[in-house]
């Protein structure tokens, strides 16, 4: 199972992204020691089982509130395979500090620029390709309230998961597909 944490600042649309992505199976659980709830769901995509966990909002790794401590604690202690960093595109500058902190921990990150419709209405132009090149991670435009971006997020999760599997797999033994050549080599050996 691929464990994916959805992280971001409060009110950036994390829960809306979670709702857009989630299937039928949703679970709510308390974080140990605090009264903060996490939402999780399990879904299948491209033959993979994905557990999505919607974390409470946090502004940075300098956690002060119980919610922030729970979010950072999950990222550090539960070791998710992938982190979806939801960013409010309409106030992108405020959100990038957390993005950099998430990138620094060395886990695969997908940056989702949510509320792109609001950013565009405000006349903002975000160079998605430049941001992806700077961060060296996938950057996806989304409008979760209108179900825009779901397939792109799932494709990015699958691509990262497959790359991780290939990187961790032992080298495959070379196989000959030419029986005549294999027989000829056997006679020479």
Query: Domain map of the chain by residue range?
Result: 2-188
pLDDT along the chain (189 residues), means of 10: 95 93 57 61 91 93 86 92 97 91 93 98 96 95 96 96 68 44 51
| CA dist., res. 47 & res. 151, Å (int) | 14
Residues 6+ apart with CB under 8 A from 102: 7, 75, 83, 85, 109
Q: Give me the CATH topology for the region 2-188.
A: Rossmann fold (3.40.50)
Q: Are 13 and 150 in contact (CB under 8 A)?
A: no
What is the reported pLDDT for 118? 97
CA separation for the pair 119, 90 (Å, rounded): 4
What pLDDT shows up at residue 171?
Answer: 44
The pLDDT tens digits for 15-42 are: 999 999 986 444 445 555 443 666 898 9
């Amino acid at each position: 199972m691929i464990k994916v944490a959805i992280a971001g600042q409060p009110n950036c649309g994390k829960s809306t992204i979670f709702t857009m992505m989630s299937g039928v199976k949703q679970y709510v659980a308390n974080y140990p020691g605090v009264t903060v709830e996490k939402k999780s769901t399990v879904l299948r995509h491209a033959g993979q089982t994905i557990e999505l966990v919607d974390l409470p909002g946090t502004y940075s790794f300098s956690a002060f509130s119980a919610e922030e401590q729970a979010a950072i604690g999950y990222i550090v202690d539960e070791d998710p395979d992938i982190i979806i960093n939801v960013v409010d595109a309409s106030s992108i500058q405020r959100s990038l500090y957390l993005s950099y902190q998430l990138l620094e921990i060395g886990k695969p990150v997908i940056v989702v620029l949510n509320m792109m419709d609001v950013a565009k209405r405000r006349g903002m132009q975000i160079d998605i390709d430049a941001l992806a090149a700077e961060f060296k991670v996938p950057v996806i435009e989304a409008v979760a309230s209108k179900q825009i971006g779901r397939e792109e997020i799932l494709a990015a999760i699958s691509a990262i998961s497959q790359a991780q599997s290939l990187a961790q797999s032992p080298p495959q033994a070379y196989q000959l597909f030419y029986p005549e050549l294999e027989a000829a080599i056997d006679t020479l050996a």
